[in-house]
Structure 1
């Protein structure tokens, strides 16, 4: 059985409206949904919940943001209501690829679990395993977990999957991309047969299809949106930019008034760098990546959701599973690794039927790679070359919020100037306070030095003068050390800048594989052996092998063959042998 629904997530006006009460959910859940303002199910929910309540295995496919969490979460809660859970033996397990997604699933389901008296617990890395084990010992009805941490907890004997009745695998394709399927298979093998299995994935490739055939029994298939990424409420744009214009355009797009933006980059270093550049341009931005502690990641995500930070600069791994409402723009500063990552990034906007814009910045040599990626993703993106003229076309002006490239560059420069002036003012205030404090400490030191000299019977003035001279020597040495440290820091910064420039140069993929702007295989500059090398070189082989620069030919260069009269170091039969005396 397969149910395919339209791409639009909101029901059509001429169709009869289906409510959650019509789907067979418990009245406690329906009332709680109404209190939260949720009355009309999304298509994937309307299609999935009745079959899930009937206990059938579910195979769901739909893009992120289609409402899958409630599709499997509400039936799971309804099925477990009224039952009893033993310590360390949860009755339902929901596996997610990332800790952020695990927390979001738990947050989404916890209000409805409370009305049914069911307890949920997140088991993931980056948080206290002791607290997780303590909760399992008290009894957890539904465990929302990442595969690696759950395997570790089971290995410590703190959890058993023998009582699991419902197993859910959310974002299975992302687990495959992250290499988690061996852990997933190991965990699913521990769940006793006969229970309910639900698997949700945006794509059904070879590895996912293997999981379906191995663990799902006669699954009911439900699909929302095509496997490709076409969404009518989402607009895609590619801006071809020069390297010097990339940072100003990033700041211009991120600084749009009333806009909430996610910026995607490839690396953790890139996330910190871009977030710092945006803050210097006056944009409230923060970075989110795997190098941060879980507490810092949670605070950053909370600031973004609450509107205290308007721009989130994230890596792909850290941003997997992020659900934030009303994201207007997704900006790809670095190209996605493949079309699946591009679709995942794009899915952060245009959620639940809302509109959104996806903008990808591409350097000239990245054009072919970007266009091929769009074709693989099934996306029809408009293409704009920035820098051919001073004025933007209307679409680009709407995206960037400025009329010309010059204005964008001016705004970026003015933002940097404002940030620098604020930093100068802050440092000036700190310097004044430090100077006042230094004066107070110097006066106190001279007073104590004079007192100590009088106690020893010495002249206080001489003692103070000696102390001042020693202080001047120490200050001079500190200044020299500061200069040396500044020089070392400048060298480190230069090295990091070269590495970052090399990384950006390679971001579009191998130029031979189609990254526009590079050399073609047939017309690239030859770097082979040259016949006209200068003085000191020589050619090998050929009839005319005479050196044109005065070097050696193969036949008349000095010989370094073994000489017969050189000293021999062969072992001699009559050389003395050292033996340990008994």
Structure 2
């Protein structure tokens, strides 16, 4: 039977005297926490650590960023301290839904594991499997893994879960969203019974509740900061913006001081929005599942270290990301559902800090956005951008750092100017280098031409003059080709700009379909009902007509290869609705052939007329 502790619901200020030492953690760990400036536990840590140290099964519920990693990680380290681990047989596993979260859990626990002589290893896709196999052969105490890669290693015989004493499932609701639960149950079935199980999730839906009942034995349940967006330190805003104003407003918000995460729907959208922000003078990088693990790690490192102030990410890549001091989340494309919205919002206001969540919505997306906010349990301030003389209200002006939309547009234009000037300076440097290189190559070419002419017995001066004339012709032709290409490129850019103006600058996720949802992809699909089409190729060609069937639900096609109606004028309408029927003249074989049968076999054959 599950036991819920009401003290876990109390704010931290009600228990100011509790420290990590009071929770029963080893002294080396407590001292290391103090060195890192962590002296007072968060509510979920104060609630779960004593029960986890006692070996009880724990069910923890709390929103992302509430401090769950140390809640299960420190007790796992403390309980495994002093034991021995055999090769390929870890004593604890921590399952996470994404690579980034696995790496973050390992980074958070490794300093304390080193103090206790425990080895941790991250096992996830996109990284070297050979390195992971080598580490397992040497012995790994705690395996932090994604389900797919761990299952692959077990299938290769490089890992066994027969000695696992503690199994932790982190962010279980995200695993359910990503479709990992079948693999999770397959792995947990390999863990010997009788050990400790800990499950942490923001929600307890049907699939998660099934895991709890199947694998946790009389768990003690702790709930802190339930998965709702109504966090006291987080403010939510919805900005209704016209399509032509979406791009400059996005650039203005992204250019503010501080770290910002921008969410879009697709990988192509992430790359495009990041490029457009860089053109506006914003230090932005893209992060999505289509990147290699090395590129994703470098991008996330640049964002954490401040080399990039804006991270443009998709939902899959952003799940589980923990970056300190992210004070604003900007939803350029609306979230698919309220759970994705809460996951996005959880990137800010982490561990009690303040944060802001801004969602941009086109006018036709207004109703869907407000319904999403209601499902998420969020009260969001609503702002209409472009009204009342283009003046912003106080909240919007504070977010974008401007008093009016005109200032935003001017700032976006100035950012483009700065980017263009930097590009001109870079190209000028490259041009100077190319000219110097060309001069060196020209001198070398003339020297070799003179030598070649002397070897042939020709006049060197005439050879140099002929080479110079050929070079001038080649340069003239290259200039003409470059001019033609520049004209074509300018026309393409003008056409793309007109398209962006009509769609609002950022093209993916901006237009919902006719059924009230959001399209999933980089190209709109028009779901309007099929329209009647009549087509007749005149001049004796094939006639083709498509119209509603008399029986409903189908379409009629009348076709005659000779351009006329079917003999007898019989109707071609299908007698049963819901399908197509094609009527063709039986005698539509080529005129140059006749039909015959082989007398010996009776098989048909085609015989060409002479």
| Map of 2:157 onto structure 1 | 157
Q: Is this contact kept in 1: 2:265–2:508, CA < 8 A? A: no
Relative distance call for 1:104 and 1:497 in structure 2 (3 A) is: farther
Distance in 2 (CA, whole Å) between partners of 1:432 and 1:568 is 75
Distance verdict in 2 for CA 1:527–1:297, change over 3 Å: closer
Equivalence map 1:87-486=2 (5 Å) = 87-257=87-257, 259-389=258-388, 390-475=390-475, 478=478
Alpha-carbon displacement from aligned partner over 1:146-165 (angstroms, at most 9, x marks no partner)? 11111111122111111000
Equivalent of 2:595, from 546, 550, 569?
569
Question: Secondary structure of 2:59's partner?
Answer: strand
Q: 1:141 to 1:428 in 2, by over 3 A?
A: same
Tell me the CA shift for residue 421 of structure 1.
Answer: 1.6
What RMSD, in angstroms, separates the aligned Cα atoms of the two structures?
Answer: 3.4
CA separation in 2, counterparts of 1:352 and 1:177? Answer: 24
**Aligned partner (choices 511, 517, 541) of residue 514 of structure 2:** 511
Q: CA deviation at 1:67?
A: 0.5
User: C-alpha separation between the residues in 1 aligned to 2:119 and 2:229?
Assistant: 36
Compared with structure 1, are the counterparts of its residues 488 and 208 closer, same or farther at alpha carbon in structure 2 (3 Å cutoff)?
farther
Partner of 1:41: 41
Contact 2:9/2:43 (CA < 8 Å) preserved in 1?
Answer: no
User: In the alignment, which residue of structure 2 is the partner of 1:518?
Assistant: none
In the alignment, structure 2 segments of 5+ residues that lack a partner are: 519-526, 551-562, 571-582, 605-610
C-alpha distance 212-15 of structure 1, shift in aligned 2 (>3 A): closer
SS in 2 for 1:173: helix
CA distance in 2, matches of 1:115, 1:540: 77
Q: Distance in 2 between matches of 1:574 and 1:121?
A: 76
Structure 1 442/212 Cα, relative in aligned 2: closer, same or farther at 3 Å?
same
Q: Which secondary structure state, in structure 2, belongs to the residue aligned with residue 88 of structure 1? A: coil
Work out the CA distance in 2 between the residues paired with 1:198 and 1:165: 11
Question: In structure 1, what is the equivalent of residue 557 of structure 2?
Answer: none
TM-score, reference length from structure 1:
0.88
Cα distance, 1:574–1:125 mapped onto 2, change above 3 Å: closer
Q: Does 1:81 align with 2:81?
A: yes
Structure 1's 155 and 576: CA in aligned 2 closer, same or farther, altered over 3 A? Answer: closer
1:485-520 Cα offsets, whole Å, 9 max, x none, are 7688789987899799599476454333378xxxxx
Name which of structure 1's ranges 488-497 and 144-153 shifts more when overlaid on structure 2: 488-497
Deviation at 1:482, TM superposition (A): 5.3
- Cα deviation for residue 21 of structure 1 reads 1.0
- The within-5 A match list for 1:502-541 is 504=507, 507=510, 509-513=512-516, 528-529=531-532
Deviation string for 1:388-434 (max 9, x for gaps)?
Answer: 13110111111111000000000001110111122112112211221
Residue segments in structure 1 that go unaligned for 5+ positions in a row: 516-523, 543-550
Bigger mean CA offset, 178-187 vs 566-575? 566-575
Q: Is the CA contact (8 Å cut-off) linking 1:45 and 1:71 kept in structure 2?
A: yes
2:4 is matched with 2
Q: Which structure: greater strand fraction?
A: 2
Shift, 1:262, TM fit:
0.7
Judged with a 3 Å threshold, the aligned counterparts in structure 2 of structure 1 residues 345 and 429 are, in CA distance, closer, same or farther, namely: same
User: d(CA) in 1 for partners of 2:373 and 2:451?
Assistant: 79
Is this contact kept in 1: 2:95–2:146, CA < 8 A? yes
TM-score (ref. length: structure 2): 0.84
How far apart are the structure 2 equivalents of 1:330 and 1:461?
A: 70
